[in-house]
Amino acid sequence: MNSQKKKGIDRREFIELGVKTAVGVGLTSLPLISVSCLSVSNTKTVHGACYHDCPDRCSWKVTTVDNKVTAFEASQNNPYTAGKLCDKMLNFPNDVTFNPDRILTPLKRTGDKGKGEFVKISWEQAISEVSTKLKAIINTKGGEAILPYSFGGNQGMIQGDAISNRFFAQIGASQLERTICGSAAVAGLLAVNGQTTGVLPEDIVHSRYIILWGTNPILSNQHLWPFIKKAQSSGATIVTVDPFRSLTAEASDWHIQPRPGTDTALALGLMHVILAENLHDQDYIDKYTVGIEELKEHVQKYDPDYVSQITGLEQETIIALAQAYAQSKPSLIRILIGMEHQVNGASAFRAVAMLPALTGAWRHFGGGLMHFTYEPFGEALNWNSVALPQSLANPKTRSINMIELGKALNNKELNPGIDALFVFNSNPANTTPNQNLVLKGLERTDLLTIVSEHFMTDTARYADYIFPATTVLENWDILDSWGTTYLNINEPAIAPLGESKPNSELFRLLAREMGFNEPYFQESDIDMVKKTLESDHGYLKGITFESLRQNGGQKLHLPNQWMPHAEGHFKTASGKCHFYNANVEPPIPDYIPVVYNKREKEQYPLHLLTIKTPKHFLNSSHANVPTLIEKEGKPYLEINALDASARNIKDGDELKVFNQRGNVYLNARISDRVQQGIVCMPQGFWSSFYKGGSSANALTNDLLTDMGRGGAIQEAKVQIVKV
Ligand SMILES: Nc1nc2c(c(=O)[nH]1)N[C@H]1C(S)=C(S)[C@@H](COP(=O)(O)OP(=O)(O)OC[C@H]3O[C@@H](n4cnc5c(=O)[nH]c(N)nc54)[C@H](O)[C@@H]3O)O[C@H]1N2
Ligand SMILES: Nc1nc2c(c(=O)[nH]1)N[C@H]1C(S)=C(S)[C@@H](COP(=O)(O)OP(=O)(O)OC[C@H]3O[C@@H](n4cnc5c(=O)[nH]c(N)nc54)[C@H](O)[C@@H]3O)O[C@H]1N2
Ligand code: SF4
Ligand SMILES: [Mo]
């Protein structure tokens, strides 16, 4: 178990770092539940935005009559997401806010952990008992015995972690390294470019050669896809690099299908060819980069033959891709998350990020690399609104990596051990790797588990106390974005249903009960929203609290042609792009495979991908909504015909997929989306709904990535039998 003082960089911290380095769809049926409400009446329309961990951050409009939603539709004022929410969210008010299964009162456990048996209690009782128990732990073991666990469930700046961060810092709780998404990618990109924001989403239309490298926008970044199609109709070639034939790969001009986790070698191989064939931009390299000589020497060994052996690609494919990429202008590489969940994840991002500097792609509008859109928000907004107050900043408490939750909960050597786990905005029993170890921890009778939720998730079933959280239709928020440059505020459309309360209010109440009277616990949500906008940065020109309320999402006021590295200006210490970075270990990324011994290879010969292929779920969110489950169908395992016939498996057969960590039962889908030796199952389905009570993460590994301390979730090996 790795617990360390220094945290990895999570997304929020990175945004703050950015500042410091200065750098409609109408509802077909109306909600059936009628809600009495004192504070809201008659017809009103408010603007809001999607809270999900999704790059699109759609802006929407909600119309209500007497606290009932009569229309929920995409806002036309945000041209990026205009006109269309995704399939997951079309019917959100009915599916989530007014879902009859929603938890609307505090609950206290009555049955055994995991059984999901609870009794309703009042807020007063819940707050009083939870704070008494937390105080007892703090007094006997110290605050570090308490571990908060939260992630992407709500990406609003306020309901994300504004007040909770203050609360946990105040009690001296362990810190959570929030690295399950984005961390390895960011670590890799910082080592090369010093920042994540490259080409902006809409500008992809100017590209003429687009490589979608380990990303599946048709599903995961749906509002980018029309822009990609527009580029294609203007003559761009679309290439997808993915070991799985995703919907996007299928719709591309060219699908390149390397073995999982071999992208570092592929990118180094492309650089080998580009340099060998003199297709690089020497002028750009001379002016704006560091370490070309070291790179040249380093990529010597990554010739097409060697790279072909590693990736499984034909040598001709590697050469042709290098030539076409380097010779097309403008050329763009779109990366998002896919590759980072491999052991070599950060190295892959590093190696890929070098390509646009090597070829000078950054010089052309629409050329370069496209990843997150962090830095403009980092610079523009007043992050003090949600930051820790000075007195609590830089806590000295230990950090525990979220990937290693199972290890942490079961580690008898940990001092102090984890006595209380406080989960909100996350469903770790489903989304964290090594699920059975996580569940073993959650089963501990001496662990106090507190969960704030909308539903009885795989995690909430193990709680001692559950607090009912509001949904995005019921609370204030302000939302930046990691995939667009639109800023949104979210105005509550209806009063909180039942006894639900926003995350912020839960932690305010707990703070008050525990005797913390500091003013930073008393700030209201709306005041924090307004304070976030207190900034005279040029990017906020024309954007105010009132304009956002009136119009919905607004685009940051950015320069007309955003070309961040046309003339260098990398945000590294040297100001240059680093092919070689002496401050990072290793200074140049290398392909380092995971080595398995003969016995391991025989026992578990198949490489398992557990990726986000469900169209109607967002991670595990919505995977309890009957209509969406019906649309999605049952969980399945995609298996190549050769691997299936070797095991006498036919399409539709029931299978047990297993390894040393767990078993998952599902049906076979014989498919040429995966190559021989690779199998794929969707992540998101709830364990508690299916045979065996296990889902994809029962088979995944809690290994950390090479940099960024992310999760090498996709490095899993399994065997399969028919049942
Ligand atoms: N419908 C839907 N949309 C979503 C989500 C969801 O759960 N459902 N989740 C949201 C979240 S949290 C995120 S982070 C984004 C993620 O957005 P993306 O990064 O686009 O999506 P992923 O599904 O993580 O991975 C994309 C592709 O990477 C591939 N991949 C896996 N391993 C490798 C590898 O070693 N090399 C290469 N080249 N490719 C590899 C996978 O096969 C997959 O097709 O999507 C968001 N959008
Ligand atoms: N095997 C495998 N595992 C993966 C991935 C993968 O590709 N494969 N992807 C990883 C990635 S990229 C990510 S981002 C993570 C996501 O993992 P999580 O962050 O755990 O995401 P969700 O499963 O969406 O769970 C979010 C929960 O928050 C709740 N929630 C929503 N809004 C609120 C609120 O306002 N208050 C409170 N209290 N709760 C709220 C929702 O009801 C939901 O149950 O999963 C990771 N795990
Ligand atoms: S999940 Fe993504 S695509 Fe769907 S509505 Fe939300 S932001 Fe838009
Ligand atoms: Mo994610």
Whether 169 and 53 map to the same domain: the answer is yes
- pLDDT exceeds cutoff 50 at 27: no
- Residue 633 falls within a domain, yes or no? yes
The contacts of residue 379 (CB under 8 Å, 6+ apart) are 18, 19, 22, 23, 537, 539
Report the pLDDT averaged over residues 139-162: 98
- Residue 242 falls within a domain, yes or no? yes
pLDDT digits (tens, 9 = 90+) for 497-541: 999 999 999 999 999 999 999 999 999 999 999 999 999 999 999
- pLDDT exceeds cutoff 70 at 36: no
Does ligand 3 have an atom closer than 6 angstroms to the CB of 58? yes
Number of independent structural domains in the chain: 3
- pLDDT exceeds cutoff 90 at 14: no
Atom 7 in ligand 3: residue holding the nearest Cα: 57
For strands 678-682 and 636-639, give the pairing.
antiparallel
- Residue 590 falls within a domain, yes or no? no
Report the pLDDT averaged over residues 63-89: 94
Question: What is the percent of the chain where pLDDT is above 70?
Answer: 94
Whether 116 and 173 map to the same domain: the answer is yes
- Give the amino acid at 142: G
Q: Provide the pLDDT for residue 649.
A: 98
Best mutation site among 25, 51, 56, 625 for ligand 3 pocket (most ligand atoms within 8 Å of CB) = 56
- Residue 575 falls within a domain, yes or no? no
- Give the amino acid at 316: E
Q: State the DSSP string of 269-295.
A: HHHHHHHHTT-S-HHHHHHHEE-HHHH
Cα–Cα distance measured from residue 683 to residue 716, given in angstroms and rounded to the nearest whole number:
13
Q: Which domain holds residue 707?
A: 598-722
Whether 172 and 108 map to the same domain: the answer is yes
- Residue 585 falls within a domain, yes or no? no
Ligand 2 atom nearest the C-alpha of 506 is 38
- pLDDT exceeds cutoff 60 at 39: no
Does ligand 3 have an atom closer than 6 angstroms to the CB of 89? yes
- Residue 570 falls within a domain, yes or no? no
- pLDDT exceeds cutoff 80 at 9: no
Cα–Cα distance measured from residue 348 to residue 184, given in angstroms and rounded to the nearest whole number:
9
Whether 364 and 405 map to the same domain: the answer is no
Tell me the C-alpha to C-alpha distance, in Å, between residue 612 and each of 225, 245, 334, 337.
17, 13, 18, 11
Whether 324 and 409 map to the same domain: the answer is no
Residue 182 region, left (φ>0) first, then alpha (ψ -120 to 50), else beta?
left
Q: Which residue has the higher pLDDT, 35 or 532?
A: 532
Q: Provide the pLDDT for residue 499.
A: 98
Across all residues in the chain, what is the average pLDDT? Answer: 94
Q: Provide the pLDDT for residue 8.
A: 35
pLDDT digits (tens, 9 = 90+) for 560-584: 999 999 999 999 999 999 999 999 9
Cα–Cα distance measured from residue 155 to residue 55, given in angstroms and rounded to the nearest whole number:
11
Whether 118 and 173 map to the same domain: the answer is yes
Cα–Cα distance measured from residue 138 to residue 125, given in angstroms and rounded to the nearest whole number:
20
Does ligand 1 have an atom closer than 6 angstroms to the CB of 675? no
Domain end (from 559, 586, 620): 559
Whether 204 and 172 map to the same domain: the answer is no
Q: Provide the pLDDT for residue 41.
A: 58
- Residue 359 falls within a domain, yes or no? yes
Report the pLDDT averaged over residues 234-243: 98
pTM score, whole prediction: 0.95
Whether 512 and 432 map to the same domain: the answer is yes
- Give the amino acid at 566: A
Three-state secondary structure readout of 103-139: CCCCEEECCCCCCCCEEECCHHHHHHHHHHHHHHHHH
Q: Provide the pLDDT for residue 26.
A: 29
Which one of the ligands is nearest to 266 CA?
A: 1
Maximum pairwise Cα distance, the chain? 73
Whether 535 and 609 map to the same domain: the answer is no
- pLDDT exceeds cutoff 50 at 596: yes
pLDDT digits (tens, 9 = 90+) for 77-128: 999 998 899 999 999 999 999 999 999 999 999 999 999 999 999 999 999 9
Whether 673 and 716 map to the same domain: the answer is yes
Does ligand 3 have an atom closer than 6 angstroms to the CB of 616? no
Question: What is the percent of the chain where pLDDT is above 90?
Answer: 93
Beta-ladder partners of 333: 211, 369
Are 702 and 660 in contact by the 8 Å Cβ rule? The answer is no
The CATH number of the domain where 680 resides is what? 2.40.40.20
Report the pLDDT averaged over residues 619-623: 98
Q: Provide the pLDDT for residue 33.
A: 36
Are 624 and 686 in contact by the 8 Å Cβ rule? The answer is yes
Are 322 and 266 in contact by the 8 Å Cβ rule? The answer is no
Cα–Cα distance measured from residue 713 to residue 180, given in angstroms and rounded to the nearest whole number:
9
Atom 5 in ligand 3: residue holding the nearest Cα: 85
The CATH number of the domain where 152 resides is what? 3.40.50.740
Report the pLDDT averaged over residues 683-701: 96
Are 589 and 264 in contact by the 8 Å Cβ rule? The answer is yes
- pLDDT exceeds cutoff 50 at 608: yes
| Residue whose pair of structure tokens reads 């649309």 in the numeric block | 631
Cα–Cα distance measured from residue 523 to residue 502, given in angstroms and rounded to the nearest whole number:
14
Cα–Cα distance measured from residue 353 to residue 196, given in angstroms and rounded to the nearest whole number:
10
Tokens of 672: 């040429």
Q: Provide the pLDDT for residue 7.
A: 31
Q: Provide the pLDDT for residue 82.
A: 83
Q: Provide the pLDDT for residue 4.
A: 33
C-alpha R_g of the chain: 25
